[in-house]
Homo-oligomer: A and B are copies of this chain.
Amino acid sequence: MATLYYFEGRGRGEFIRLCLSAAKIEFKDHFLYERAEFLKLIEDGKLLFNQLPLLEIDGKQLTQSNACARYVARKAGLCGKNEDEAVQIDMVSEGGRDFMTPFLPIGFKPEADVLADAKKKALPKYMPLFEKIAAANGTGYLVGNSLTLADLSVLEPLLACVEYFGMECFNDYPALKKVYETVTGLESISRFLKSSHRQRKNDERYVSEVKKVLAW
């Protein structure tokens, strides 16, 4: 079984958890709480860049969250049926990561400030762009006619939008709302969101655990 080594929280781990769940790959969350555990992983040569997350899968030690996500997505055939789809998925996925970036500091900076900034800048920029992509594709997915890495990459910030701003965030974006509903309606994703793999919002405990393990 695959094992994801990360903190007990979302951060850079949640996208990999989402991809593993979508790929229907069973995995175990190994949470790190102590600095010694982190130093042991480094000492054992398991962290290529001395960074978490670490995904142990197929006898490999994978790091760099986007490389982990693409590996899992390739295994599950979520990277497109041909080169046209592959490059479109890659572009949209990168955009999804950009859209997620402003949400990552929640808790490390005051939540209200981070959210106000996301609402002011990231949502007005990205929601119309992903709406356009969703409407042009018109299948309920962002690329092609089935789930791909592109949907998963964009789903993570959309989940944050809905959690913090409510479904009203889709008021002007019906095609993107349909993508959200299609993807969250898939059995694999719906099960993930209700499972213990889905981590809670960033809170003080998570932030203090991260700081302790990384000696920030």
On A, residues with C-beta under 8 Å from B are 48-50, 60, 62-64, 66-67, 70-71, 74, 83-84, 86-87, 90-95, 98, 125-126, 129, 133
Name the distance in Å between A71's Cβ and chain B's nearest Cβ. Answer: 5
Of the residues B64, B87, B92, contact of A60 by C-beta under 8 Å: B87
Q: Is the interface of A mostly helix, strand, loop or mixed?
A: helix
Contact across chains for B90 and A71 when beta carbons are under 8 A apart: yes
Q: For the complex, what is the distance from the CA of A126 to the CA of B84, rounded to whole Å?
A: 35
Contact A49:B90 (CB < 8 A) given known A64-B95, A95-B64: no
- A50, B91: Cβ atoms under 8 Å? no
Contacts of A126 in B (CB 8 A): 49
CB < 8 Å neighbour of A70 from B90, B98, B133: B90
Task: Say yes or no: A94 contacts B64, CB within 8 Å.
Answer: yes
26 contacts between A and B (CB under 8 A): A48-B91, A48-B92, A48-B95, A48-B129, A48-B133, A49-B95, A49-B98, A49-B126, A49-B129, A50-B125, A50-B129, A60-B84, A60-B87, A62-B87, A62-B91, A63-B91, A64-B90, A64-B91, A64-B94, A66-B90, A67-B87, A67-B90, A71-B87, A71-B90, A74-B83, A74-B86
